Amino acid sequence: MSVIEESPSLVSSIPQDYTKRLMVFGGRASMELTAKIAGRLDVDVGRADLRTFADGEVYCRYEESIRGADVFLVQSTVGNEAQGMTPNDALMELLVMIDAAKGASAHRIIAVMPWYGYSRQDKKSAPREPISARVVAQCLEAVGVDRVLTMDLHSGQVQGFFSKPVDHMTAMPMLTQYFLDQAFDHDLVIVSPDAGRVKVARNFAQKVGVHWAVMEKNRPAQQVAEIGYVVGDVEGKTAVLVDDMIDTAGTLCAAAKTVLEQGGAANVIACATHGVFSGPAYERLARENSGIDRIVVTDTIPLRPGAPENITVLSTAQILADSIRRIFADDSVSEIFQGENQLF
């Protein structure tokens, strides 16, 4: 009869500490939003040396150890006049921040991109065009990102360009709550500026508890829109034009003119997650030029100087902080929105 002796248990002499660390860093395009997010997480913004050399090249160096940490890099890939950055500068800066974090042995690298630049170039609309939204995804994955956190993408298919996890947030709860908290002289009607945003407008209207309408739009060229007519009853009501973004504001101003003159709306309010406001947007959106009483956007993109007085900015810091906290703790992110963060 053989007797098997148990080996004495081995205890490693290597110190083992499985305490996780959360670190938040901001790119120069989103430093203000980064500070708000860090404040809600009760952490300090990580120290990083971010510079642009005389020849235009961007540079990054972390000024503290990030070894073994979950590193969240907050950067909307958008221009920032105050920092002298273009959208391409912001994208390149994010890429080198990811690469530097990978080389510094971060445990996980999460790109927090409240505004995903190039998201509108999500398909081929003409022969020999690139799908630039996919190019951005490939670049992020190539340099070593582990996860992407973004908000209100222009189209849901952008998530399919990634093989890494993508957490898609939405500003709809905070935007709908804003309108529920306000007092209006006229009944509200939610208006989609084109057929592509009908589902968003319908969901928005259901949350606020009002009717919705849709506008017929033709786009003869890039960044050029022609509004035809409005389908639905807006007469004598406050028309709320809901979109994911406002860029040069040509579409928005044309839509506002249509609902006022043809639809007979009492007044117009605009609402969008991303206020890009490029080119002549500020001049067009001034109340005396556009007829729009109020423009409600979030801080996913920093406002450049000279914004008209009718622009109201709501902060997304709490939503993003809650999402970061749940990702760090490996909890469900969709529970923040009760599973309603896919709105396409």
Cβ–Cβ < 8 Å for 81, 28: no
Within 13 Å, how many C-alpha atoms sit on residue 218's CB side?
4
Q: Which secondary structure element, helix H or strand E, spans residue 180, and what is its range?
A: helix 172-181
What distance lies between CA 156 and its chain's CA centroid? Answer: 13
How far apart are alpha carbons 269 and 276 in whole angstroms?
17
- Residue 18, both tokens: 């499985």
Q: How far is CA 41 from CA 31, 35, 130, 241, in A?
A: 15, 10, 39, 33
Look at residue 66 and give its three-state secondary structure. coil
3-state secondary structure of 324: helix
Q: Are 281 and 246 in contact, with CB atoms under 8 Å apart? A: yes
Per-residue b or e along 23-54, where b marks 16 or more CB atoms closer than 10 Å to that residue's CB: bbbbbbbbbbbbebbbebbebebbebebebee
The two three-digit tokens of residue 31, written as one number: 């430093």
Strands (E), the chain: 22-26, 48-52, 58-62, 70-74, 108-113, 147-151, 166-169, 188-192, 211-221, 224-231, 238-246, 267-275, 292-298, 311-314
Of the residues 102, 164, 199, 217, only one is catalytic, namely 217
Return the residue matching tokens 């306000």.
Answer: 182
d(CA 61, CA 182): 45
Sign of CA dihedral 220, 131, 144, 148: positive
In the residue annotation, 123 being an active-site residue is answered as no
Residues facing 150 on adjacent strands: 113, 168
Active-site residues: which are they? 217
